DNA sequence: CTTGAAAGGGATACTCT
DNA sequence: AGAGTATCCCTTTCAAG
């Protein structure tokens, strides 16, 4: 299901937009060496194809009052239970991402909370909502994150 | 070091920009119920304070030819070695994020590669560059990711 | 913080190559 | 496809309330 490989110019466009998502079409055109219209066309096509899924502001977790990040591995208590954990947990806004994984656990979720107390409460909610046991890895610091994929 | 708590309007602005990072100031002003100038001022202030660290395009990993995502836990082989793993691995573009963690491992990195062969080669590089043993958790699917923090 | 205005630049559509 | 052009809208700054 991996779609047609990307052209070099499209890759250049995506690289620029990953670094600066608010870059103007004029600047973008200059950086990739195309006219404004051509870049405009290509960006719209990339958006339509779903390669470019959107644009997001990058926030500083510490400065928005959510300084504690953690990864929580979820292991089902009842192996026969239906596999609907993502939906069961979706409404918990502290959960930033949910991954289905191969390994000891079934899922790994990335969470962001205000502190240890909030983490404890969140763990209680997750266990109750999803009937899972949890293993939590607390993040001490983040040397880097959200780097542009190797385009 | 958690800075002054955010005002409701600032939180609203950040919420909108997390969902649509290319939203125009005109639209933003409408959505948060402020004048364009006022929104402009607030966004610049949030950027200056470092709350708003930037804007990034959100790409579809599968469609850019990097369908395999994994988390790799790094455990030092020599406990006395200097703690400079992030720098040693920084140039590996397959590494999207690096977290210093509390737990069995010292670091967890999130990687994105073209397939199993590329993952094997990357693991070899990581072990050699950082003198660590690795434990890899392959991501099978991603129900959701990059959700707006609970603002 | 709001309004209003004004200059400059960007976005978008259209046409031509 | 890419380039050029014209129009309209947005961004950005300013002054004043």
Q: What is the pLDDT of residue B4?
A: 65
Say if A18 is an interface residue toward chain B (CB within 8 Å): yes
Binning pLDDT at 50, 70 and 90, where does residue B7 land? confident
For residue B137, what are the contacts with CB-CB under 8 A and spacing of at least 6?
A101, A102, A103, A105, A108, B70, B71, B72, B73
Binning pLDDT at 50, 70 and 90, where does residue A1 land? very low
Q: Residue B66 CA to nucleotide D16 C1', Å?
A: 55
**Strand D closer than 7 Å to the CB of A41?**
yes
Residue B2 has pLDDT above 90, yes or no: no
Q: Which residues of A65-76 are buried (b: 16+ CB within 10 A; e: fewer)?
A: bbebbbbbbbeb
The whole-angstrom distance between residue A132's C-alpha and the CA centroid of its chain comes to 23
Instruction: Locate the domains of chain B by residue range.
Output: 8-49, 61-138
Q: What is the pLDDT of residue B124?
A: 98
Question: How much is the average pLDDT of A117-141?
Answer: 98
Task: Give which of A15, A28, A59, A113 to mutate to test B binding, by max B Cβ within 10 Å.
Answer: A59
Task: Please state, in angstroms and rounded to a whole number, the distance separating the CA atoms of residues A33 and A37.
Answer: 12
Task: Please state, in angstroms and rounded to a whole number, the distance separating the CA atoms of residues A11 and A150.
Answer: 10
Contact between B2 and A67 (Cβ < 8 Å): yes
Question: How much is the average pLDDT of A106-129?
Answer: 98
Question: How much is the average pLDDT of B74-103?
Answer: 96
Residue B113 has pLDDT above 90, yes or no: yes
Question: How much is the average pLDDT of A122-150?
Answer: 95
Chain A, nearest residue to B113 by Cα: A150
Binning pLDDT at 50, 70 and 90, where does residue B47 land? very high
Residue B57 has pLDDT above 90, yes or no: yes
- What's the maximum distance between 2 C-alpha atoms anywhere in chain A? 58
Whose structure tokens read 């602005």? B13
Work out the mean pLDDT of chain A and round it to a whole number: 94
Task: Please state, in angstroms and rounded to a whole number, the distance separating the CA atoms of residues A107 and B95.
Answer: 21
Architecture of domain A8-49: Orthogonal Bundle (1.10)
Question: How much is the average pLDDT of A78-84?
Answer: 91
Q: What is the pLDDT of residue A17?
A: 96
Q: pLDDT tens digits, residue range B126-137?
A: 999 999 999 999
Contact between B113 and B123 (Cβ < 8 Å): no
Question: How much is the average pLDDT of B93-117?
Answer: 97
Task: Please state, in angstroms and rounded to a whole number, the distance separating the CA atoms of residues A107 and B140.
Answer: 9
Angle at A64 between CA A61 and CA A68, to 5 degrees: 45
Task: Please state, in angstroms and rounded to a whole number, the distance separating the CA atoms of residues A11 and A9.
Answer: 5
Binning pLDDT at 50, 70 and 90, where does residue B1 land? very low
A-contacting residues in B 111-130 (Cβ below 8 Å): 112
C-alpha dihedral sign at A89, A91, A94, A98 = positive
Contact between A126 and A134 (Cβ < 8 Å): yes
Nucleotide nearest to A36 (CA to C1'): D3
Contact between B106 and B76 (Cβ < 8 Å): yes
Q: Which CATH class is domain A61-138?
A: alpha beta
Q: Smallest CA–CA separation between A52 and chain B, in Å?
A: 5
Q: Which pairs count as long-range contacts for B77-84, CB under 8 Å and 24+ apart, including other chains?
A: B77/B131, B77/B132, B77/B133, B78/B131, B81/B131
Q: What is the pLDDT of residue A3?
A: 59
């Amino acid at each position: 299901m991996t779609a047609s490989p990307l052209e070099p110019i499209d890759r250049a466009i995506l690289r620029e937009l990953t670094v600066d998502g608010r870059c103007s079409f004029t600047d973008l055109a200059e950086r990739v060496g195309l006219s404004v219209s051509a870049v405009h066309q290509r960006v719209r096509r990339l958006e339509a194809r779903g390669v470019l899924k959107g644009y997001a502001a990058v926030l500083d977790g510490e400065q928005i009052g959510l300084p504690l990040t953690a990864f929580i591995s979820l292991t089902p208590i009842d192996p026969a239970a239906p596999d609907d954990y993502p939906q069961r947990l979706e409404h918990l806004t502290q959960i930033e991402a949910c991954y289905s994984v191969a390994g000891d656990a079934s899922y790994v979720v990335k969470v962001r909370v205000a502190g240890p107390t909030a983490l404890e409460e969140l763990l209680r909610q997750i266990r109750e909502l999803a009937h899972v046991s949890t293993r939590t890895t607390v993040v001490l610091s983040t040397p880097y994150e959200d780097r542009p994929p190797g385009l």
